[in-house]
Amino acid sequence: MDTLKWRENALFLIDQTLLPRQKVIIECKTYKDVAKAIKEMNVRGAPAIGVTAAYGMVLGAFEYDGDDKEAFFDYLNDVGDVIKGTRPTAVNLFWAVDRILNRADEVRDKDITSIKIVLEEEANRMAREDIDTNRCMGHYGAQLLKDGDTVLTHCNAGALATVDYGTALGVIRAAVEEGKNISVFADETRPYLQGARLTAWELMEDNIPVTLITDNMAGYVMKKGLINAVIVGADRIAANGDVANKIGTYSVAVLAKENNIPFYVAAPISTLDLDIKAGDDIPIEERSSMEVTHICGVPIAPEGVKVMNPAFDVTPNKYITGIITEEGVIYPPYNKNLQKVGKK
């Protein structure tokens, strides 16, 4: 998958707003291009946003053409603030910008040209690590699935939401690579339709059997006994194991509990935010009302109707059977067990 590629001092992204009808690659030549792509969701999904943000920092560093080192560091901080201002919920964005800023600080004694090269190497390392992490998560998560299982997923936590392979879909891919027959039910994920547009497309490209349902069908298919496990991604996980993920995840988790179906979250350690004690403190992005009143540009609601459009919700830890990370599956009590896996 070409979710994001760094080539000759530019970042190339699949424009996810146009999938699956068109596969268009957009080129980001400046940090402002990157900030715009994150804000407008040309690139989305917590890990993909993180690595994109890291390359945004590199572009920002390359754009500085002075020779005053103090001014260079001030400028880099300003670039970081712009990139951090794009979307509030996925902690990977903040983690990635801070990792680049910290790396710059570590090599502060070098000349500006050398610092820029170090930052480019760091972003490339983050991109490689993301794929390795997903494969590790896939390996651990696949042990939770049996041959013949059907997994329900919400939103898109696949190759398109990461540099490649995916988190929740990475677990499914790993199980399939182990020779298990796994089928997927994909919630369409209103209002932005990541499930219908991206998850369904991505799985079909890989010949993994997928059935698309609208979000309000999840309870029906669970009660019918069609689902063996739910696996979703995460945008931020609080110290107590509460998980912020795409709006609608909470409802799916409650339904899973009611139907005795295990509910797993697959997320890299970079998605943990141990500074946040509980989910209520996670900032939730509110997006444009147009996403609710329109589908693909066509109005579906009376003009002027009052709208609420939170892009994420928080699933309380009591609904979460386990959190699949690159260091293994973490089980409750999360307050204690998440502390053991620190951020790199």
CA distance 148 to 184: 11
- Give the end-to-end CA distance of the chain in Å, rounded to a whole number: 26
Residue nearest to ligand MRU according to CB distances in the complex: 233
Angle of CA points 171, 175, 177, to nearest 5°: 115
> Binding string to ligand MRU for residues 175 to 214, with x set by CB under 6 A, is what?
-------------------x--------------------
> Binding string to ligand MRU for residues 255 to 294, with x set by CB under 6 A, is what?
----------------------------------------
Which among 235, 242, 273, 313 is annotated as catalytic?
235
Strand runs (DSSP E) across 215-262, as ranges?
229-232, 236-238, 243-246
**Could you say which residues in the range 309-338 bind ligand MRU, by CB under 6 A?**
311
33 a catalytic residue: no
Q: What is the dihedral of CA 251, 137, 343, 103, to 10 degrees?
A: -120
Hey, how many other C-beta atoms are within 10 angstroms of the C-beta on 196? 19
Part of the chain binding ligand MRU (CB under 6 A), chosen from 7-15, 45-53, 76-84, 118-126: 45-53
Asked if 162 is part of the footprint of ligand MRU (rule: CB under 6 A), the reply reads yes
CB 47 → ligand MRU: shortest distance, Å? 5
Asked if 235 is part of the footprint of ligand MRU (rule: CB under 6 A), the reply reads yes
CB 222 → ligand MRU: shortest distance, Å? 19
Of 96 and 155, which has the nearer Cβ to ligand MRU? 155
Beta strands 243-246 and 312-315, pairing class:
antiparallel
CB 274 → ligand MRU: shortest distance, Å? 18
**Could you say which residues in the range 78-97 bind ligand MRU, by CB under 6 A?**
90
Nearest residue to 183 via CA among 149, 234, 154: 149
CA distance 238 to 316: 10
Residue 124 parent element (H or E): helix 112-142
Part of the chain binding ligand MRU (CB under 6 A), chosen from 3-11, 99-107, 111-119, 159-167: 159-167
Of 141 and 233, which has the nearer Cβ to ligand MRU? 233
Q: What are phi and psi of 230, to 5 degrees?
A: -110, 135
CB 203 → ligand MRU: shortest distance, Å? 14
Angle of CA points 146, 335, 270, to nearest 5°: 70
Residue 324 parent element (H or E): strand 322-325
Active site residues: 235
Applying CB under 6 A, the residues found at the interface with ligand MRU are 44-47, 90, 155, 157, 161-162, 167, 194, 233-235, 245-246, 311
